[in-house]
Structure 1
Amino acid sequence: MERVDKSPDRYKKSASSGLQSLKGVGPKRAMLLSRLGIHTIEDLLYHFPRKYEDRSLVKKISQLQDGETATLFGIVTGVRDIRPGRGMTITKAALFDGAATACAVWFNQPYIKRKVHKGTKIIVTGKAERKYGDLQLSVSDYEVIENEEPVNSAGIVPVYPATEGLPPRTLRLIIKDALEQRLDSIKEFLPSDVLEKYNLMPIDRAISSIHFPGDLDDAQKARRRLVFEELLVLQTGICMLRGTVSRTVGICHKKDGPLTAGFLGRLPYKMTGAQKRVLNEISRDMESKKPMNRLIQGDVGSGKTVVAAAALVKTVESGYQGVMMAPTEILATQHAEGLMEVLGPLGVQVALLTGSLGKKEKEAIIQDIRDGRTDIVVGTHALIQDGVAFQKLGLAVTDEQHRFGVKQRAKLNDKGQRPDVLVMTATPIPRTLALTVYGDLDISVIDELPPGRREIKTYWIADTEKQRIYKFIREQVNQGRQVYYVCPLVEESEKMDISAALELAALLQSDIFPDLQVGLMHGRMKQDAKDMVMKAFQNGSINILTATTVIEVGINVPNATVMVIENADRFGLAQLHQLRGRVGRGAHQSYCILIANPATAEGKARMDIMTRTNDGFLIADEDLKLRGPGEFFGTRQSGLPDLKIADIIRDYKALSAAREEAMALLRRDPCLKLPENVKLREKLMARFRDTDNYFSTS
């Protein structure tokens, strides 16, 4: 067996110096590029556009439709900054196109005022909307025109995932220079028969065309090639990993005894048939000599945690320790308290280890774990620090597995000698798709909810009916209930989403519910600040929690009965279902209100599906049929490389073909050592460089 070569420090050091050989890239821009995961010129060439904009037809202001994304050309007649709140700057430039005037708007980019001033000729692209009777364009990209023609903002223009301080035009110019310098160094690695069989572009042409296509058809052909290559590498890696794991010897746990029976007997309810089936699958794995590597997939409220707890009890009964890692301190505390309540009377020692513990308390807990006095430890990232050592780790459980990076999970598993591994996710995925994506894991599905659980009533309401929603919220709060209010997605920009959240929270607090307590949570807040807000919401001191989509997965606030989601048609079905799952956790009837004015048939279909069913697996299947955006794999499989261009949902057919091709390839050449497969093997090793996986090479 050969471990994938990592050496990240050496890799990044040589890489950044390579980036600085490009025009306009110095140490500062190299650092900005690293925020995007770009450390080498090859990383840059594989930083693909998220979409294209056809700017060949520049519109007149009079032609703009509310809600459309368009490109305008005009002369700036005035610029001003508005500061509506602390840490918030809105820059507005009046733009005259010879016949009419519109406002170009930038959020939290005060430097714009230094570049754009009265008399500047400018081409801007953004989303048009009417506010208070005026037309404005929320700018996503712009270019100051110094000559007669724009240099880089006309025709088919690639739009990249970007970061603050690196304007879109600058990123395009850097990538263009990288193509000119290094395209020749990108060598073909797909076997010639695969290229011919699937009629795929050669690699150099595909890389060039994905960035600067002649037309949209050219871009589509390039994408098809790059999607297939990425999925073939992924599937080949998964097949090799599964083969390696199946030959590894692990822990052989005992059959269930009195401790497990005592735990199951203390549960205040009977397990569902689905829970019993999954627990049997886990027990068979744990009692075998092969290390368990299993994913529990279950809808919100299906009882995954109880099944994981039973597995932890089994490892204790076999003479081993168990560990459960959760992404936040609140969720870890929730798990620990539940286990202590049920297992304490059975003599099982459960400990909670988090970063906020005092030094002495933390050291005492770590010593108990090391000496074997603690049977089960629940915690956050604090579990994977170097000082934490187990006397005899038998089972590692990761809750909400997609919230952890590859190295974090690997560090947890490395605390023992090939412990059994159990990961959990609340994102329902169609089983055939899950088997393809999670090819290196065995999959258990809990597809049954506990009896008596109330169905969440879901309503789809137009934006014009907000007063009805506000009235309903007040009625619920007057009854002692609490409310989540999720902000609209503005653009593919976290900063703009946060700006919208700040604006919405201020509106709700000052104008709509001045007598209630409105809280706010968003992605740029530090974890301890998020925890403070969630604790305040849990204890009832916040009536309405305004938030972006960072609402903590798995947090149990039984008193929260209303979930309001603005611009719901901009969210995918999987994400809407996850958000809805934040309510309906108590004895009171719960409600999900979707505010949406969908302009497309697909948007209307999504709203209709959400109001028709609470079944996450049915929703997942419908999302697949609608070729949704793939929020499922925002919950990507930790331990595997990130996908840069492929979308597991959209590219499902390509995924299936790539898996078949990978299996056929490995049947002919299990270790990829034949001359025609050497380059593919090198690519595979490079793609899995930052994972903690092993490949069989003999």
Structure 2
Amino acid sequence: MPAKAQAVRGIHAPKNADDLAAARRRLIFEELYLLQIGIFLLRSHGRCKTSAPMHPLDLGPFWRSLPYPPTGAQKRSTEEILADLCGDVPMNRLLQGDVGSGKTLVAAAAIWFAAQNGWQSAMLAPTEILARQHAATLADRLEPFGVNVTLLVGGMKAKEKRIALEAIADGRANLVVGTHAVLTDTVEFKNLGLAIVDEQHRFGVRQRGLLAGKAQSPHLLVMSATPIPRTLGLLMYGDLDISVLDELPPGRKPIKTWFITGKKRRDMYGFLDKQIAAGHQVYIVCPAIEENEAMGDLQAVTTYYTETACALLPNRRIGLLHGKLKPKEKDDVMQRFKAGELDVLVSTTVIEVGVDVPNATVMVIENAERFGLSALHQLRGRVGRGAADSCCILISDNGNDAVRERLQFLCRTSDGFAVAKYDLETRGPGDFFGSAQHGLPTLRVADLVQDTRTLRVAQDEAKALLAKDPNLIDPAHRALSDEVERLFETAGAMN
């Protein structure tokens, strides 16, 4: 490979095509090499001896308590997790599965196992709505076994919060489910053994570290419903082992997906009215909260609610949900929708993550071109959770051929991994992961889709170097160590 100075000159002012190719190869390799070293160093920070040793137990009583048998993928992933929990070093595992694949059940099995071993667990969710839903679901599953489930979210009253904090500190709370509130200094656990982060892409490496810092070296399980192509998963989550839920529980029906233009909106509302008349509920998602000059024809949720939804469904009960509402207001709207007191929920993507209303059968997404395919797939997964047939309707007036092909692709497939691969190839990793929420450095030269071969070589070389010098303390590696630290500090991952 050319020297660094030569490569920098070659990328800016190449003498010929070969000079440019050699410069790119050198800079791509260096970027991926530094990234891999940083990820392996992050991982090794947690490779001390575990402070929460657990011993094997028969999971039979837990499986037998379920109303339906677990899938093969759920049992396999649970076994991988329990093997980690009984190991000498803290678990560091990513549980990845498509929408509706049953990640919460696997988490419940791990929490049950930790509780039987005498350890507390904590589950971190990205929104208050999801935290409350998880707390209710897990209480149903676990409280019959004497596992006490405690909720901790920012919107709680002072007295409720004080009672929760006391139960966490004295160990009466076997499981704490909450939002970022769990990460605050006031939260002290008696003996935290298992930390679980739901919807991993909403939290950076730093927040995972804060949760893990609530005990000496607890076991860490992170979960994501954003399916990630395996090579990319190994890069982005190189500090984690990966378990994949690749089958859906029995009884889940496929969701029909249609793509229409705004001209058909009035007809679609006739269809929605029939669905509501049949006793079902409807989600309508818009990309923005309020109108503004720069938005052009973007559907804003507040205006859409009054001028479109309420106008075209005058006799139906319609709720409005968006991120600017207070937590209590959001929770109230969501609870009313879950209880069947609202027919339609007009919302921003606040409902993207994990919300479970089995009676909702239609998902309408306005300005569908504004969302990545993975986000659309997540939204589509909010329906199809009950026994009735469900559908997703994508609305877009964008005439761009590439945009229309993307939306047609989603109509043709329900496989989240295929969707993620296509999204990655057409939009690139920056959009795929959102605003650098994964807490890893942004790549400037390397392309995660095109450069997977170089990535593998960089990974092998990084492993070989760290096998000889695990903490980069050799004076010859000082400059390398400084460069890795600088790269990761920019992303806030080493904080």
Please report the TM-score for the alignment, with normalisation by the length of structure 2.
0.86
Counterpart for residue 255 of structure 1: 56
Question: Which of 291, 295, 305 is 1:505 aligned to?
Answer: 305
Q: CA deviation at 1:412?
A: 1.9
Change beyond 3 A, Cα 1:343–1:646: farther
**Equivalent in the alignment of 1:339:** 138
Q: 1:580 to 1:637 in 2, by over 3 A?
A: same
Q: Is the 8 A contact 1:394 1:416 kept in 2?
A: yes
1:519 to 280, 300, 319: 319
Please identify which structure carries the higher helix content: 2
Q: 1:646 to 1:381 in 2, by over 3 A?
A: farther
Equivalence for 2:4: 195
2:40 matches 1:233: no
Indicate whether 1:641 and 2:440 are aligned: yes
Unaligned runs of 5+ in 2: 14-20
Contact 1:489/1:570 (<8 A) preserved: no
Partner of 1:411: 210
Report the Cα offset of residue 386 of structure 1. Answer: 1.9
Quick one: distance in 2 between partners of 1:649 and 1:580?
26
Task: Tell which deviates more after alignment, 445-454 or 376-385.
Answer: 376-385
| Structure 1 pair 601–377 and aligned structure 2 pair: CA distance change class (3 A) | same
Q: Are 1:276 and 2:85 counterparts?
A: no
Give matches, 1:522-671, under 5 Å.
522-597=322-397, 599-626=399-426, 628=428, 631-634=431-434, 638=438, 640-643=439-442, 645=444, 649-650=448-449, 652-653=451-452, 655-656=455-456, 658-659=458-459, 662-663=462-463, 666=466, 671=471
Give 1:380 shift. 2.0
How far, CA to CA, are the matches of 1:495 and 1:417 in structure 2? 50
Q: Following TM superposition, by how much is the alpha carbon of 1:587 offset from its aligned partner in structure 2, in angstroms?
A: 2.0
User: Per-residue displacement from partner, 1:76-109 (whole Å, max 9, x unpaired)?
Assistant: xxxxxxxxxxxxxxxxxxxxxxxxxxxxxxxxxx
Alpha-carbon distance, 1:677 to partner:
4.8
Aligned in 2, Cα 1:637/1:293: closer, same or farther, shift over 3 Å?
farther
Shift of 1:235: 1.9
Deviations 1:561-599 (Å, cap 9, x if unpaired)?
111122323432211111111111122211101123554
Deviation at 1:621, TM superposition (A): 2.9
1: CA distance, partners of 2:67 / 2:306: 43
Is the alpha carbon distance of 1:488 and 1:339 closer, same or farther for their aligned partners in structure 2, counting shifts above 3 Å? closer
Kept in 1: contact 2:48–2:90 (CA 8 A)? no
- Give the deviation of 1:439 after TM superposition: 0.7
Question: Cα deviations across residues 272-308 of structure 1 (Å, max 9, x unaligned)?
Answer: 0000110110011111111100000001111100101
8 Å contact from structure 2 (residues 366, 395) kept in 1? yes
Residues 151-175 of structure 1 show CA distances to partners (whole Å, capped at 9, x for unaligned) of xxxxxxxxxxxxxxxxxxxxxxxxx
Q: Please tell me the residue identity of whatever aligns with 2:281.
A: Q
CA contact (8 A) 2:7 2:26 kept: yes
Instruction: State the alpha-carbon separation in 1 of the partners of residues 103 and 201 from structure 2.
Output: 15
Structure 2 contact 155–327 (Cα < 8 Å) conserved: no
Secondary structure, aligned partner of 2:350: coil
Q: Which string of whole-angstrom CA distances, capped at 9 and with x for unpartnered residues, describes residues 487-544 of structure 1?
A: 2579xx9984987333322321453223333333334444444333323332334332
Report if aligned partners of 1:563, 1:579 keep a CA contact under 8 Å in 2: yes
Q: Which one of 103, 112, 115 corresponds to residue 313 of structure 1?
A: 112
Evaluate the alpha carbon distance shift between residue 508 and residue 387 of structure 1 in structure 2; reply closer, same or farther with a 3 A threshold. same
Letter of the 2:418 counterpart: L
Give % identity.
48
Q: Is the 8 A contact 1:508 1:514 kept in 2?
A: no
Structure 1 residues 232, 530: closer, same or farther in 2, change over 3 A?
Answer: farther
User: Within the alignment, does 1:463 sit opposite 2:262 as a pair?
Assistant: yes
**Stretch deviating more after TM superposition (224-233 or 467-476):** 224-233
| Counterpart Cα distance in 2 of 1:225 and 1:500 | 46
Q: How far 1:365 moved relative to its partner? A: 2.4
Supply the distance in 2 between the matched residues of 1:633 and 1:228 (Cα, whole angstroms): 22
Instruction: Supply the AA of the counterpart residue of 1:579.
Output: L
Tell me whether 1:303 sits opposite 2:112 in the alignment. no
Matched, 1:377 2:176: yes
Q: 1:688 to 1:622 in 2, by over 3 A?
A: closer
Q: Aligned in 2, Cα 1:686/1:538: closer, same or farther, shift over 3 Å?
A: same
SS of 2:300 mapped into structure 1: helix
> How much does 1:470 deviate?
1.4
Q: Name 1:242's counterpart in structure 2.
A: 43
Quick check: 1:425 aligned with 2:224?
yes
Alpha-carbon displacement from aligned partner over 1:574-632 (angstroms, at most 9, x marks no partner): 11111111111122211101123554443333223212221112222333444556544
What SS does the corresponding residue of 2:196 show, helix, strand or coil?
Answer: strand
Q: What amino acid maps onto 2:54 in structure 1?
A: H
Q: Which structure carries more strand by proportion?
A: 1
- In the alignment, the residues of structure 1 paired with residue 341 and residue 25 of structure 2 have an alpha-carbon distance, to the nearest angstrom, of 52
Output one character per residue of 1:217-236: Cα deviation in whole Å (capped at 9) or x when no partner.
xxx99999987665443222
**Contact between 2:288 and 2:299, CA under 8 Å: does it hold in 1?**
no
Q: Which amino acid aligns with 1:335?
A: H
Structure ranking higher on relative contact order (CA contacts 8 Å, 6+ apart):
2
Distance 1:358-1:396 versus aligned 2 partners, 3 A rule: same
Distance 1:628 1:466, change over 3 A: farther
* Residue type of the alignment partner of 1:237: G
CA-to-aligned-CA distance 1:254-289 (integer Å, 9 cap, x gap): 1014xx432221111100000011011001111111
Q: CA–CA distance in 2 between the matches of 1:510 and 1:692?
A: 45
Write the distance in 2 (CA, Å) between the matches of 1:511 and 1:559.
23
The correspondence of residues 216-227 of structure 1 with structure 2, limited to 5 A, is none
Distance 1:448 1:349 in 2: 30
* Structure with the greater alpha carbon radius of gyration: 1
- Report the secondary structure of 2:349's partner residue: coil
Query: What one-letter code is carried by the residue in structure 2 that aligns with 1:275?
Result: Q
Specify the alignment match of 1:329 in structure 2: 128
Q: Deviations over 1:614-656 (max 9, x none)?
A: 1112222333444556544228674x43426578655644655
Alignment of 1:75-474 (within 5 A): 193=2, 195=4, 200-201=7-8, 230-246=31-47, 248-257=49-58, 260-474=59-273
CA distance in 2 between partners of 1:608 and 1:242 (Å): 40
When the two structures are aligned, how many residues end up with a matched partner?
484
Distance 1:541 1:486 in 2: 19
Unaligned runs of 5+ in 1: 1-191, 210-219
SS of corresponding position for 1:460 = strand
* Per-residue deviation, 1:358: 2.8
How far residue 558 of structure 1 moved from its aligned partner, in angstroms, is: 1.5
* TM-superposition CA deviations, 1:368-421 (whole Å, max 9, x none): 222222222222222222222121111011111222344433222112120100
